Structure formats: C-alpha cells, structure tokens
Amino acid sequence: MNALEDLEVTLVARTALYRTMHRVMGSEPTEEIVDTLISEAFTNVCHLFLPLSSDLEKSFEGIRACTSRLAEENDMTAYLNGIYYSLFMGPGKMYAPPWETLYVSKEHALFQKTTLALRKSYVAHGFIPQSYPHVADDHVGLELHFVSLLAQNMVDAYRSGDYPALTSLAKASGDFLGEHLTRWLPPFLTALNEAPDASLYRECMTYLHAFIDIDRRLLSNVHSHYKTVEALR
C-alpha cells in the first residue's frame, strides 16, 4: 500500500486504531469495548494495514480468537474485569503495571523524569489528562489517548489543507512514539506474556507494537513528502 495514494483514508484509519487501543487499555473493560474489537469497522481498519506485516496479521487473528472465546463466557464483563485488575490495578501484585517509568527507570517508582517529559509533550499540544495531576502521565492509556488526539489533529490538518501543521504533527507523533511507546512496549509485552490469562491484552499490545513500526515509517514519509512539496512552491 502506498500511504500517500489515499492519505486521508490512512490518517482516519490510524486515528481509529489508536482510539480503540486507548479504550482497551485506558479503562476498565466493558461489553461495548469487546463489541468494538469484533466490529466490522475495526476489522476494516486492521485489514487496511495487514498486508504490510505478517506480525500484524498473526496478532489480529489472535485478537479475533480471544474475542470469540470471550463471547462464550457467561459474564464476560466480570471475567474481563478480574483479568484487568490482576494485570493493571491490583490490589496485590500487578502482573503488568501499565506505567512507562517502571520499565525504563532504575528508580521503579512513578512520577520520575519520564513522567515530567511526557507532561511537557502533553502541554505543548494542549492535552491535559482529565485525571491530572493525580494519575501518572505515563500510563499506557494516557499515552495512547495523546497519540489518538494527535492523529485526529492530523486528519483535521489534512482536510483543511494546512500542510505545515500536518508535517509538524507527523514529526511530533513520530518523535513521541520513538521516545516513549517504542521503548517500553517490548518489556511491557514480556510482562503480559508472563502473566496468567492476559491473552486479549497481550494480543492487542502485540498488534499495536507491530503497527507502531509501520506507523513511524508512514509518519516519516508524510513529513518528508510535504516538506518537499513546500520547498518546491
């Protein structure tokens, strides 16, 4: 797929993907979230990118297998809530704590330098988390929320013909992914792989990890393409 062939479709699709992953990781599970994962709309979004990576195809099939099994649960929401709490919230041991700092900092404590750097990125783009300042800014749900908002801003910039804003947002998005999610998703995935019954979240994060590699190339192409167009004007 040439991403610049139908850039608007690609920009809208990546926005939907990040928004869905934000909902999966950023809040307690609901039947509606599972319905989104099995919806035709989400399937179409995933299928747009599947030809670009065998890893994407494999993890997408994993997501489908997990949601099929969940549909057989008598009380799917209660079952998923138990998993969500044991992985990400406690009480007791969290099998996969969802904060970046715990994977990239020697201190193994929240609200470290990584958190402050993230906060600067958020503020620079007018993003103030609803739970600020009581929840650490480097929660995976907040990072995905931020990326989804930048993605929507890219859609808006493209539709309005504001190509300087589009290139700036593409660079900011690529830099953020490279400096944050790309760095800590691998150890986070290791924690999910070692946790009991983490299959849905493991497959979603495996898909996301593979997608981010593709997305960073897309963002780099968007930035360089429109910088070249501007230079020729």
pLDDT at 2: 45
This prediction's pTM: 0.90
In a domain, 1, yes or no: no
Share of the chain above pLDDT 70, in %: 89
Indicate the number of domains in the chain.
1
pLDDT of amino acid 87: 94
Q: Is residue 2 part of a domain?
A: no
Give the model's pLDDT for residue 233. Answer: 54
> Is the confidence at residue 111, as pLDDT, over 90?
no
Give pLDDT, residue 212.
97
d(CA 146, CA 92): 29
Provide the pLDDT for residue 230: 61
Nearest to 195, CA basis, from 99, 101, 91, 87: 87
Place of tokens 């981010």: 212
Contact in structure between 216 and 178 (CB atoms under 8 Å): yes
Q: List pLDDT tens digits, range 197-232.
A: 888 999 999 999 999 999 999 999 997 877 765 654
**99 pairs with which residues across the strands?**
139
Give the whole-angstrom CA distance, residue 176 versus residue 118. Answer: 9
- The distance from CA 1 to its chain's CA centroid, rounded to whole angstroms, is 21
Tell me, yes or no, whether 194 lies in a domain.
yes
Q: Does the structure show a pLDDT above 70 at 131?
A: no
pLDDT tens figures, 16-60: 999 999 999 999 999 899 999 999 999 999 999 988 888 899 999
Q: Residue 111 sits in which domain range?
A: 7-232
Q: Average of pLDDT values for 126-144?
A: 79
Return the CATH number at 217.
Answer: 1.10.3480.10
Assign 5 a pLDDT band (cuts: 50, 70, 90).
low
Report which of residues 25 and 91 the model is more confident about. Answer: 25
Position with higher pLDDT, 55 vs 154 = 154
Name the 3-class secondary structure at 207.
helix
